[in-house]
Structure 1
Amino acid sequence: MEPKIVISILGGLIVLVLLMGAPLKPIRLVGQVFVKVLIGALFLFFLNAFGASFDLHVPINLVTSAVSGLLGLPGLAALVIIDLFIIG
């Protein structure tokens, strides 16, 4: 497609969203999930920092961050159990 057409379509969609208003609930939900995944990554960072003396390392990636962030401490404990007994 021509760049002018793509820019025109995107501009029209932006104007339409501005005039009609964006639905706030899905945007808020995506923001909350993003914050929880970041908190999960922070949990994993501290687990790896303090678990290094116990030879414990859980990789920090999107899946493990999502599990520990969305499930909280039980998810973090599940990741540790999986790392200790299943993987290693």
Structure 2
Amino acid sequence: MEPVVVLSLLGALIFLLLILGAPMKPLRWMGQGAIRLLIGALLLFFLNTFGGLFDYSLPINVFTAAISGFLGIPGIVALIFVDMLIIP
């Protein structure tokens, strides 16, 4: 899709939500989930940055970002163990 179309659809959706109102709990959950995904991606980015010194990296995708974002440091440790021990 064209960026103009995507931005127009997002603008229309925001306008409709402002006019009609939105249930707050589901939006709050979605917002918190999105923030946790971003935090997980940042944690993986820093792991890959510092892991480059030791020639180690983990892929950054939705699955690994979700695990590291929702579980935190124990999730990153679990991802490292899975990567090192189970996936040779």
Report the counterpart of residue 5 of structure 2 in structure 1.
none
Give how far 1:68 is off. Answer: 0.2
Where in structure 2 are the equivalents of 1:40-59 lying within 5 Å?
40-59=40-59
Separation in 1, partners of 2:87, 2:48: 16
Report the counterpart of residue 33 of structure 1 in structure 2.
33
- Give the 3-state SS of the residue equivalent to 1:22 in structure 2: coil
- CA-to-aligned-CA distance 1:5-62 (integer Å, 9 cap, x gap): xxxxx99xx38x734x311011011000000000000000000111112221100001
What TM-score, normalized to structure 2? 0.76
Q: How many residues are treated as equivalent by the alignment?
A: 75
Larger Rg: 1
Identical amino acids, percent of aligned pairs: 52
Separation in 1, partners of 2:83, 2:57: 8
What TM-score, normalized to structure 1? 0.76
Report the counterpart of residue 65 of structure 1 in structure 2.
65
CA-based RMSD: 2.1
Instruction: Compare 47-56 and 68-77 and name the one that shifted more.
Output: 47-56
